[in-house]
Amino acid sequence: MANKERVTFGSKIGVILATVGCAVGLGSIWRFPYMVGSNGGGAFLLVFMICTVLLGLPIMITEFFIGRHSRRNAAGAFKELAPGTQWSLIGYNGVLAAFLILGFYAVVSGWTLEYIWQAMTGSLSGKTTAEFTTDFETFSSSALRPIGWTIVFIALTHFIIVSGVEKGIERASKIMMPALFLILLILCIRSVTLPGVDEGLAFLFKPDFEKITSSVVLSAMGQTFFSLSIGMGCLITYSSYFGKDTNLQLTAIQVTVLNTFVALLAGIMVFPAVFSFGIEPTAGPELVFITLPNIFEQLPFGNIWSFIFFILLALAALTSTISLHEVATAYVHEEYHMTRKKAAWIVSIGVAIIGALSSLSFGLLKEYTIGGLILFDALDYLTAKIMMPIGGMMICIFVGLRIEKKVLKEELTNKGTITFYFFNTYAFFIKYIAPAAIGLIFLNELGLIKK
């Protein structure tokens, strides 16, 4: 594709909203609370925050550099910046990660549709905590219904993707993201007026340093990558649509802050309720699906609260599935010279197959495990804890080794028109510190570092 003619997002606010939409999603609202819950509460939050500032932000800026400088898709970008080398493997890792993430993400997205449906039909009313738990388990382990919803969700994503970058992605994000913030805020205020609030907030915010183990650190790093969508090419693809005057550093800061803010709001929304209703914080992927309807049903107009919440979750998921789909679609479209439509179909069908299999791994295929994990969990582990951190590490090494500092600085300061404070620190950081830190976290988890 001719670089100069590449489509761009139509407005500044569109850039930010689309990128926030990519980052903010089930990762912050569904995955973050259950990771906090099963990794020791405040200890996890502390490591997550450190990883966000020290790894998340610099890697995001670096991906923005790669995307806007090359103006290509995730794999094409490396071919453009380092022709004839193997660096494009980083891009392939990213495209594959996007595809695999979508394969389990679409399942959870489908669950949100089921809960919207249940709220609408009133079937969430009058249940006990135990019933919410068993009903979720019966639903998620059944064969047809969750697969049906997964496919509906993929179809929605497909529809927006074929409508194109500006009309589809940007317009959808512009409406969805502000609505999301508003609804989240209302729900948060509702939750902090519950009786479990002190215990819930202490669990979330008071770190118990004894609980910081190697696997908590790896999980927190994985959550940072997953939740910020870094290390796999989404942000490279999106920033290839940024305009020349987009302030890359500022956009990265805005996206990171907003994303962290949403995760914290989600935590504040979930944990008071967990303690108030005696739910196990370690419940796992079903945590939000049993906690929240539970709170809402015990409030006046419970169904309406549940309805609003699951609409919110579905919208947040949609802006992320769009970005995941876009990575794979842009790659197939541009590298195999296929129409966008055809490329999108190939991706959608592939994802529907993986989605169906990972949905079945909660029931019919439960016995088939990979390293002790069902397919759904294995895909999550492989992408968030392995592929994305390795991708992030390689992205840093790539820019550190292959890109002249002058070029990097020019792109990140829009040819000197904006200042980049601490540029040298940043450059040193991504070349040495970030890759070393990620490497050490891996070695530590593998037990190769002895105390």
Query: Footprint of ligand PHE on this chain (CB under 6 A)?
Result: 22-23, 25-28, 101, 226-227, 229, 232, 234, 320, 323-324
Nearer to ligand PHE, 23 or 46 (CB): 23
For residue 199, count other CB atoms closer than 10 A to its CB.
14
- Smallest gap from Cβ 324 to ligand PHE, in A, equals 5
Give the DSSP per-residue string, 247-270: -HHHHHHHHHHHHHHHHHHHHHHH
- Smallest gap from Cβ 232 to ligand PHE, in A, equals 6
Nearer to ligand PHE, 36 or 403 (CB): 36
Q: How far apart are the first and last CA of the chain?
A: 52
- Smallest gap from Cβ 30 to ligand PHE, in A, equals 8
Single-letter residue type at 303: N
The 8-class DSSP code of residue 301 comes to T
Nearer to ligand PHE, 161 or 234 (CB): 234
Nearer to ligand PHE, 23 or 60 (CB): 23
- Smallest gap from Cβ 287 to ligand PHE, in A, equals 15
Nearer to ligand PHE, 27 or 103 (CB): 27
CA-to-CA dists, residue 391 to 129, 230, 266, 328, 434, angstroms: 41, 8, 27, 16, 12
CA atoms of 331 and 338, how far apart (whole Å) = 10
Residue 267 has phi, psi (to 5 degrees) of: -60, -45
Nearer to ligand PHE, 93 or 133 (CB): 93
Nearer to ligand PHE, 29 or 216 (CB): 29
Helix (H, G, I), strand (E, B) or coil at 374: strand
Handedness of CA 282, 284, 286, 287 (dihedral sign): positive
- Smallest gap from Cβ 299 to ligand PHE, in A, equals 27
CA atoms of 43 and 50, how far apart (whole Å) = 11
Task: Name the nearest CA neighbour of 16 among 195, 241, 184, 185.
Answer: 241
139, 146 Cβ separation under 8 angstroms: yes
The 8-class DSSP code of residue 3 comes to G
Tokens in use for 214?
């190697």
* CA–centroid distance for 210 within its chain: 28
222, 385 Cβ separation under 8 angstroms: yes
- Smallest gap from Cβ 245 to ligand PHE, in A, equals 25
- Smallest gap from Cβ 227 to ligand PHE, in A, equals 4
The 8-class DSSP code of residue 71 comes to -
Nearer to ligand PHE, 22 or 397 (CB): 22
Nearer to ligand PHE, 111 or 226 (CB): 226
CA atoms of 391 and 2, how far apart (whole Å) = 27
- Smallest gap from Cβ 171 to ligand PHE, in A, equals 19
- Smallest gap from Cβ 345 to ligand PHE, in A, equals 20
Nearer to ligand PHE, 28 or 361 (CB): 28
Nearer to ligand PHE, 317 or 403 (CB): 317
CA-to-CA dists, residue 310 to 26, 157, 220, 236, 316, angstroms: 11, 17, 25, 30, 10
Tokens in use for 351?
């994802």
Nearest residue (beta carbon) to ligand PHE? 27
- Smallest gap from Cβ 398 to ligand PHE, in A, equals 19
Residue 118 has phi, psi (to 5 degrees) of: -65, -35
- Smallest gap from Cβ 195 to ligand PHE, in A, equals 30
Residue 198, burial from CB neighbour count under 10 angstroms (0-12, 13-18, 19+): exposed
